[in-house]
Amino acid sequence: MPVVNWLKRHLVVIAGLVTLAYLLLPNVIVTVFSFNKPKGRFNYQWQQFSTDAWKDPCGVADMCGSLSISLQIALWATLGATVLGTMIAFALVRYRFRARGTVNSLIFLPMAMPEVVMAASLLTLFLNLGAQLGFWTILIAHIMFCLSFVVVAVKARVMSMDPRLEQAAQDLYAGPAQTFLRVTLPIAAPGIAAGALLSFALSFDDFIITNFNAGSTVTFPMFVWGSAQRGTPVQINVIGTAMFLVAVLLVLTSMVISNRRNRQKA
Amino acid sequence: MTTDNSGDVRLSGISKTYGSFTAVHPLELTVPQGSFFALLGASGCGKTTTLRMIAGLEEPSSGTVHLGDQEVTHLPPYKRPVNTVFQSYALFPHLDIFENVAFGLRRRGIKSVKKQVEEMLELVQLGEQARKKPHQLSGGQQQRVAVARALINTPKVLLLDEPLGALDLKLRRQMQLELKRIQTEVGITFIHVTHDQEEAMTMADTVAVMNAGRVEQLGSPTDLYENPQTTFVANFLGTSNLIEAEVDSKSGEDIVLRAGGGKLVLPESRCGAPTTTGGKVLVGVRPEKISLTHADDAGEIAENRNRITGKIADSSFIGVSTQYVIDSPVCPEFEVYAQNIDRDPRLVPGAEVVLHWNPAHTFGLDAAQDIDAGVAEVEEEAA
């Protein structure tokens, strides 16, 4: 049975390729349809190749405005959640204080709670406080749910850090600030970066919580959802493809850089 | 010896307590400039805490630390002219070897570090590895980076916290010689913390034996080995045979003791305990000082030697020597190490023998102590 044998020998590769295809197929469709020229308002059927949408990505009313709002919120939420989350993680690992155990478990709540529930209760809170729904309420909500992810990522890193490294830095004439900047922060950096990346991704494409607390502000995911009722402009695919490409480029660049560094060392 | 005393370390009345636990009892210790000093003891004896108080990583509960004429008791570690080689090295994983070694210089604002760092890496024979990360080096190489990283700052005192603990035996031997060489070359005061008595004895000029937060005895390795003052030192450094004996009489410089049925002679100068006729003392003798003669030849033993009779319980051939365990009425497990020069074929387990030694090799200890102190600790460390 040569076919069976061949399958047996290449099973791992085949499984890998199938999984990869499963993961990438949606992206491929999005990309292919960004070059479509649909008849009517919906971009669900392939008609003919065209680069019209790529030439005029902001050609749909309000879309680029919502994209800009989403990017701003994602950036600020990432910054806020990363700074706060890093500090919380250090506090939880390094210091013994009264409510440490409670805080440690409460920090996981936003990860565990259904998003709709959290969205609804946040809305209740904002309304009762008399807060004006909009950019700021969205930002506050996003920082909140991103926080727990940052804390988890950074905490793991800080916990595995040898406390003697900081003592060694102090022993070698580094004051507290220098020790933090030169030793603690660089060693915790991969955890912080992971938390930040996760925050950005979570914030950028959050729909449920944003939709509840946005007031009249429209973020990119809300725009896509809203336009899906009336028609889907090709530009949505253009933006999606562009985001995907930027992400892939970032990953490739970091891989090239770290490879080159390793080769220099060896 | 120079008259410069800026590298002296003076600890006066220094102690450390954690809640109700006392890690270090008030301690007086002076380490002279340029010496290689070892703090020796089992884990938990307070030696590392003492070292960390000198480094500034631990605040003493009482007492003062002086470096030369400067009091540094309350200075933070980054303001002390002292550097440490940490247990398991604590090299910065995100920096390469060059930057690890340059760290101290850069923090003190020195811009052109290249030449110094390269020289230091040459001293520890790691010139080729400058651009590698710590995890790419072997244990022995990492250890040398840790030494270089500390030494480049030309500290007044270099502190070494079990620096060779993570290395295998052969490498440890090599590094002991290496460290000793470096110390002689740079002339800096080294304070070395270890639980390995052999390591302390081969490397240090002066050894302080610590037990339960106190210094039991301080002296040169030979002095500690030949004249232990406590049962802990006698048992922790090498092996000692200890016999309970009663003071019979004094004759000139010697004390005559009664043990079992026989008499033993102990020079008064080698007895650290008060002796009154009828009082008890512990008599000690090292296993390699003892000669073993078959009971049939007992008549040939010189008159002036201390002698004890017994029966060989066990013997093990080690190559250079044979180690015997003798069952004797005065001491149940008497250990004797005999050089394998002329082996008497009659000395096998079961044989009746006479143990004899020069009285000058006998030492006397206060009988009011635990006769097995220091024995258990050694076993614990080996486990």
SS3 for chain A is CHHHHHHHHCHHHHHHHHHHHHHHHHHHHHHHHCCECCCCCCCCCCCCECCHHHHCCCCCCCHHHHHHHHHHHHHHHHHHHHHHHHHHHHHHHHCCCCCHHHHHHHCCHHHHCCHHHHHHHHHHHHHHHCCCCCHHHHHHHHHHHHHHHHHHHHHHHHHCCCHHHHHHHHHCCCCHHHHHHHHHHHHHHHHHHHHHHHHHHHHHCCCHHHHHHCCCCCCHHHHHHHHHHHCCCHHHHHHHHHHHHHHHHHHHHHHHHHHHHHHHHC
Q: How many CA atoms lie within 13 A of A86 on its CB side?
A: 20
Q: What's the rounded mean pLDDT across residues B221-248?
A: 91
Q: What's the rounded mean pLDDT across residues B100-110?
A: 93
- Are the Cβ atoms of B153 and A173 closer than 8 angstroms? yes
Q: What's the rounded mean pLDDT across residues A161-185?
A: 93
> Which pLDDT score is estimated for B381?
44
Q: Would you say A182 and A140 are in contact if contact means Cβ atoms under 8 Å apart?
A: no
| Sequence ranges of the domains in chain B | 9-226, 240-382
In eight-state DSSP terms, residue A117 is: H
Q: What's the rounded mean pLDDT across residues B151-173?
A: 88
> Which pLDDT score is estimated for B380?
47
Nearest CA in chain B to A264: B131
Q: Is B17 helix (H, G, I), strand (E, B) or coil?
A: strand
Whether the pLDDT of residue B210 is over 80: the answer is yes
> Which pLDDT score is estimated for A43?
82
Q: How confident is the model at residue A75 (pLDDT cuts 50, 70, 90)?
A: very high
Whether the pLDDT of residue B331 is over 90: the answer is no
Q: How confident is the model at residue A264 (pLDDT cuts 50, 70, 90)?
A: low
**Where is average pLDDT lowest: B29-38, B71-80, B199-208, B339-348?**
B339-348
Q: What's the rounded mean pLDDT across residues B111-133?
A: 89
- Look at chain B and count its residues: 383
- Pairs of residues, one from chain A and one from chain B, whose beta carbons lie less than 8 Å apart: 70
Quote the tokens at residue B9: 């370390």
Whether the pLDDT of residue B1 is over 50: the answer is no
Whether the pLDDT of residue B58 is over 80: the answer is yes
> Which pLDDT score is estimated for B43?
86
- Are the Cβ atoms of A173 and B131 closer than 8 angstroms? no
Provide, rounded to the nearest whole percent, the portion of chain B with pLDDT above 90: 51
d(CA A28, CA A25): 5
Q: Which stretches does DSSP call E strand in B122-168?
A: 157-161
C-beta atoms surrounding B177 within 10 Å = 11
CA–CA distance from B342 to each of A3, A247, B5 (Å)? 78, 82, 52
Query: What pTM value is reported for the model?
Result: 0.79
CATH code given to domain B240-382: 2.40.50.100
State yes or no: ipTM above 0.90. Answer: no
> Which pLDDT score is estimated for B215?
92
Q: Which comes out higher in pLDDT, residue B322 or B381?
A: B322
Q: Which comes out higher in pLDDT, residue B377 or B91?
A: B91
d(CA B222, CA A31): 82
The mean pLDDT value of chain B amounts to 88
Place of tokens 């007492």: B63
Whether the pLDDT of residue B248 is over 70: the answer is yes
d(CA B126, CA B299): 63
Provide, rounded to the nearest whole percent, the portion of chain A with pLDDT above 90: 61
Residue of B75, B86, B107, B142 best to disrupt the A interface, most CBs of A under 10 A? B107
- Are the Cβ atoms of B55 and A164 closer than 8 angstroms? no
Quote the tokens at residue A138: 């969205």
The rounded radius of gyration (Å) of the Cα atoms in chain A is: 23
pLDDT per residue as tens digits for the range B264-295: 889 888 887 777 788 888 999 999 999 999 98
Q: What's the rounded mean pLDDT across residues B69-89?
A: 91
Interface residue B90 vs chain A (CB under 8 A):
yes
- Are the Cβ atoms of A171 and B93 closer than 8 angstroms? no
Nearest CA in chain A to B91: A165
Q: What's the rounded mean pLDDT across residues B15-44?
A: 92
CATH code given to domain B9-226: 3.40.50.300
Chain B residues 8-37 with CB within 8 Å of chain A = none
Interface residue B104 vs chain A (CB under 8 A):
yes
Residue of A161, A167, A173, A184 best to disrupt the B interface, most CBs of B under 10 A? A173
> Which pLDDT score is estimated for A227?
86
Q: How confident is the model at residue A265 (pLDDT cuts 50, 70, 90)?
A: low
CATH code given to domain A61-232: 1.10.3720.10
Whether the pLDDT of residue B301 is over 70: the answer is yes
pLDDT per residue as tens digits for the range A13-31: 999 999 999 999 999 999 9
**Where is average pLDDT lowest: A121-130, B245-254, B305-314?**
B245-254
C-beta atoms surrounding B122 within 10 Å = 11
Give the relative orientation of helices A63-94 and A220-230 as an angle to the nearest 10 degrees.
140
Whether the pLDDT of residue B383 is over 50: the answer is no
> Which pLDDT score is estimated for B376?
57
Whether the pLDDT of residue A109 is over 90: the answer is no
Q: How confident is the model at residue B146 (pLDDT cuts 50, 70, 90)?
A: very high
> Which pLDDT score is estimated for B379?
47
Q: What's the rounded mean pLDDT across residues A151-178?
A: 93
- Are the Cβ atoms of B78 and A170 closer than 8 angstroms? yes
Whether the pLDDT of residue B130 is over 60: the answer is yes
Find the helix or strand (DSSP H, E) in which B192 lies: strand B189-194
Q: What's the rounded mean pLDDT across residues A81-95?
A: 93
Q: How confident is the model at residue A155 (pLDDT cuts 50, 70, 90)?
A: very high
Interface residue B81 vs chain A (CB under 8 A):
no
The rounded radius of gyration (Å) of the Cα atoms in chain B is: 25
Nearest CA in chain B to A186: B94
pLDDT per residue as tens digits for the range A47-66: 888 888 888 888 888 889 99
Residues of chain A contacting B107 with CB distance shorter than 8 Å:
172-174, 178, 182
Find the helix or strand (DSSP H, E) in which B367 lies: none
Find the helix or strand (DSSP H, E) in which B34 lies: none
- Are the Cβ atoms of A171 and B87 closer than 8 angstroms? no
